[in-house]
Structure 1
Amino acid sequence: MLTRVMYVTVYVTDQDRALRFYTEQLGLEKRIDYPGPDGRFLTVGAEGHPFEIILWSHAPAAGQPPRAEEASAPGPIVLESDDLKKDVGIWRERGVEFDRHEPEEYPFGLRIEAWDPDGNQISLRQQRPVVAEQG
């Protein structure tokens, strides 16, 4: 029986640039950085959570081109914040570019979209608090 999702892979053209974006701009932490036989195995993750994102080096022609059109890009990486409006301000100061000025309200909570330097879409979200039903 499966017990957890360990990794998801994001193709990048420059692992050092991607590492700076995901750690210095989004605030994830570097987990693994190992020069393996098939290339550098580099992961990042949110502090205190076991899930990791592999930043895998891939040539631009073989992977996703920088600023790929949304229609041709794979699904986004979805990251959750406990205070999205505050974090958007911090990320914007760090140079992260978003699809709109402020997070948009949805039935599930708040959402705003960003892209990493290779055009990988990142959906940043904050879930709406669950209100207990009164009976």
Structure 2
Amino acid sequence: MLTKVMYVTVYVTDQDRALRFYTEQLGLEKRVDHPGPDGRFLTVGAEGHPFEIILWPHAAVAGRPVLAPEVLAPGPLVLESDDLRKDFGIWRGRGVVFDRAEPEEYPFGLRVEAVDPDGNRVSLRQQVPVLTGAED
């Protein structure tokens, strides 16, 4: 039985530039940074949470054959905030590029899309609190 999701991979053209974006601009922490036989294994994650994002060299940059464009374009990375409007202002001040001027409200909560330096979409969300009935 599966017990957890360990990693998700984001393909990047410059690992150092990507590391600066995810740590200095979005505020994630660097977790692992090791050279390996297949390339530098570099991960980031949210403080206090075990899930990690691998910042992996794009196949074309790493000298590996490119199979198909859809293989190199994973879906958006989704990160959750407990105060998206506040974090949005902080991230915008750090130079993060967004798809709109402010987060939008949806039935599930708030959402806005950012773009990392390699064009990977990063969906930033804040969920609506789930009422258990005890709050009534």
Global fold match (TM > 0.5): yes
Check 1:47–1:63 CA distance in 2 against 1; reply closer, same or farther (3 A cut): farther
Check 1:64–1:29 CA distance in 2 against 1; reply closer, same or farther (3 A cut): farther
Contact map agreement 1:64 1:118 (CA 8 A) in 2: no
Indicate the structure with greater helix content: 2
**In the TM superposition, what is the alpha-carbon distance from 1:131 to its structure 2 partner?**
2.1
Aligned-partner Cα distance in 2 for 1:31–1:64: 30
Query: Which amino acid is the alignment partner of residue 8 of structure 1?
Result: V
Runs of 5+ consecutive residues of structure 2 not aligned to the other structure: none
Contact map agreement 1:64 1:73 (CA 8 A) in 2: no
Could you say what secondary structure the match of 1:17 adopts? helix
Q: Residue in 1 aligned with 2:100?
A: 100
Contact map agreement 1:22 1:44 (CA 8 A) in 2: yes
Q: Residue in 1 aligned with 2:40?
A: 40
- Cα deviations by residue, 1:69-120 (Å, 9 ceiling, x for unpaired): xxx9531000000000000000000000101111000000000001100011
Q: 2:13 aligned with 1:13, yes or no?
A: yes
Query: Which amino acid is the alignment partner of residue 114 of structure 2?
Result: A
Greater alpha carbon shift after TM alignment, 85-94 vs 124-133: 124-133
Aligned-partner Cα distance in 2 for 1:9–1:63: 16
Aligned residues: 129
Aligned-partner Cα distance in 1 for 2:14–2:43: 14
Q: 2:94 aligned with 1:121, yes or no?
A: no
How high is the TM-score relative to the length of structure 1? Answer: 0.88
How high is the TM-score relative to the length of structure 2? Answer: 0.88
Could you say what secondary structure the match of 2:98 adopts? coil
